[in-house]
Amino acid sequence: MEEKRAMYASPKSKRKVLLIAGAVSAAILVIIIAVGVYFGVKSHHNASTASDTASSDGSSNSGSTSSGSGPSQSKLAVTGGDGSTVTKEDGMTFTYSNSFGGTWYWDVNDPFNNGARPQSWSPALNETFNYGVDKIRGVNLGGWLTTEPVSSHAPALYEPYVNNTTPAIDEWTLSVNMAADAAHGGLQQLETHYSTFITEQDFAQIAGAGLNYVRIPLPFWAIETRGNEPFLAKTAWTYFLKAIQWARKYGLRINLDYHALPGSQNGWNHSGKLGSINVLMGPMGLANAQRALDHIRIIAEFISQPEYSSVVTMFGITNEPQLTQIGESQIQAFYLQAYEIVRKAGGIGAGNGPIISYHDGFLSLEQWGGFLPNADRISLDDHPYLCFNTQSPSPINTYATTPCSVWGSNFNASMTTFGLTQAGEFSNAVTDCGLWVNGVGQGIRYEGTYVADPSFQSVGSCTPWTNWQAYDQSTKAAIQQFALASMDALQNWFFWTWKIGNSSVTGVVESPAWSYQLGLENGWMPTDPRAAAGVCGNSAPWSPPLATNQLGTNPSATLAASVTAQYPWPPATITFGGKAAQVPVYTPTGAIPTLATPTFTQSGAKVTTTPSVGSGWENAADNAGLMVNIATCSYLDPWIGTTVAPPSPLCSAGASKKREPALEYVEPRITALPTP
């Protein structure tokens, strides 16, 4: 954690299928899987699946895809396993590859069936995931719905604009540049990115790679934008709906990560805008926090609906807040508010809304021990990286057990003192080599060109680390050993990230240490992540079970009044803002927006049912208005920074709240799900 914070030392350096019913015999199921014939839950279900090729070795080129119109309706299958033929929504077909006993399920007339299983050892979506016993083995889908140049997730998006007068260094400036580039599609280039960077093929491959979870970063502009915020509004949500459908089909669970908050929770480029922190910090810090809590509420109400709660099972309510700058009491008060909001939406106990995941804010894990005792299903999220501090010329084989000694005992201890603890991000990087790992134009510590801190002297060339085409077998084996040690030390984890896009300049991946998929394709990631078990030789591992409130089996899991009293809301003071009573706030009088629900289609299948897709809002009693401006009060730009004083006076005579003339509120309009 300290290493990653060091990376951001200066504002200029920010980086960053219910399966077939039990009445059907196992023998029949095997035959069905083997020959890929039509099988439906009901005789009139003529549906199919939508997916691309997945391979047990992660190859993105495995399997076969036809270019024709697909099989006839009578031959469409709704379930299958390794070697089965499936049909995508557009009628294209491919062969599913999963050597781990995973089975997919998709029937357009039964779209909420939760019988899919990613592997034989991972629970199906309609089965209990026993946290602490069943391991989270996951990957991030970084750079998809929240773009960022860091680690070059999709460098081809940014490269055309990095030399402009206002270079693209974050999604804010990328959006501004794209909007001005009508010749290349304007801002709609982002939707092209959403539809092509991560597809159903990736979800199939992830299950085939032995993984059972995906962490999906989602920004606030998936819900709404205000004022002059330049982001492509609401469109990312429609693709998150696709992600739910594809994850359900392959039995994968989702950790939805609220990655970018209005105003920015850390001032880093992956929060939307590089620069200052404006959440719980500065004169607009409290108002931005109120708006962010509204977004958490809107998301929680949607994913707590029974149609989605078996798939979206974890909710990271804020990614990487800079707690050490914002303040510990301020962040913890915000975390309690988020807890109450999410639990009001779904209720208490397993299946009633998601596990709530808290990022550690770059405090040590031990400092979170005992936070919110007896809370229902909370998890602690740590992002351990080795690459953002001291650089070493030592080869990768010298790091064989480093994750074990650096991370292992801390995670063991946190599983006891806090409860479920997971690494929401980690990678194979032991240096900061790679395209824009530190940000656009920010240089590289390893080569002595790091802009934020010139005291870093060169220790060598990055070429041996980034020229993955030249890796020999011993190098690949050493990287794989590091990955396995990391997985064993961390126990429950999400690798950052599944895919790194090719550079449009060189035509290849320029940050190989950050791509799980590339490692599978080229032999330096384990084809079976279970091989990590025991690599660290842990002599004192954490032993299950988790406490009943952690597992959602305690119906009395409530927070004592003495606990909640420790975290008053709003906080008494806002760092660089002043007393809470002296900074702008919003008032809950706005219309409540609900998120769009999915529509389902399938080429070659007749839709005979109209499934209930939910209303978008689980708890009808949760009916407070949206936080919006009051016409008689004054506001600053929500991204103003921390060096400006609050408006004075805040409100005109007789006003009891504060207003926001600079950000006229427009009720969010949710874009419909794109038609395949």
In 3D space, the residue among 516, 476, 524 whose CA is nearest the CA of residue 206 turns out to be 516
From residue 575, give the alpha-carbon distance in Å to each of 6, 322, 523, 607, 642. Answer: 21, 12, 48, 56, 8
38 vs 51: CA distance, rounded Å = 16
The label of the residue with tokens 């499936």 reads 86
Handedness of CA 369, 371, 377, 378 (dihedral sign): negative
CB atoms within 10 A of CB 120: 11
Q: Tokens 């294209």 correspond to what residue? A: 92
Q: Is 581 exposed, middle or buried (0-12, 13-18, 19+ CB in 10 A)?
A: exposed
Among residues 49, 428, 495, 91, the alpha carbon closest in space to that of 246 is found at 49
Please give the C-alpha separations between residue 111 and each of 233, 340, 404, in angstroms, as whole numbers. 27, 31, 42
Among 381, 316, 376, which residue's Cα sits nearest to residue 351?
Answer: 376
Tally: H helices and E strands in the chain: 17, 16
127, 547 in Cβ contact below 8 A? no
**Positions marked active-site:** 320, 425
Q: Where are the alpha helices (DSSP H) in 319-435?
A: 323-326, 328-346, 402-403, 409-417
Are 215 and 316 in contact, with CB atoms under 8 Å apart?
yes
| Torsion sign (Cα): 163, 169, 173, 174 | positive
* Alpha carbons 260 and 313: distance in angstroms, whole number: 20
Q: How far apart are CA 54 and CA 207, in angstroms?
A: 8
Contacts for 455 with CB less than 8 Å, ≥ 6 apart: none
**What residues contact 173, with CB distance under 8 A and at least 6 apart?**
161, 166, 167, 273, 274
Distance spanning both ends of the chain, measured CA to CA:
41
Backbone angles phi, psi at 346, to 5 degrees: -110, -25
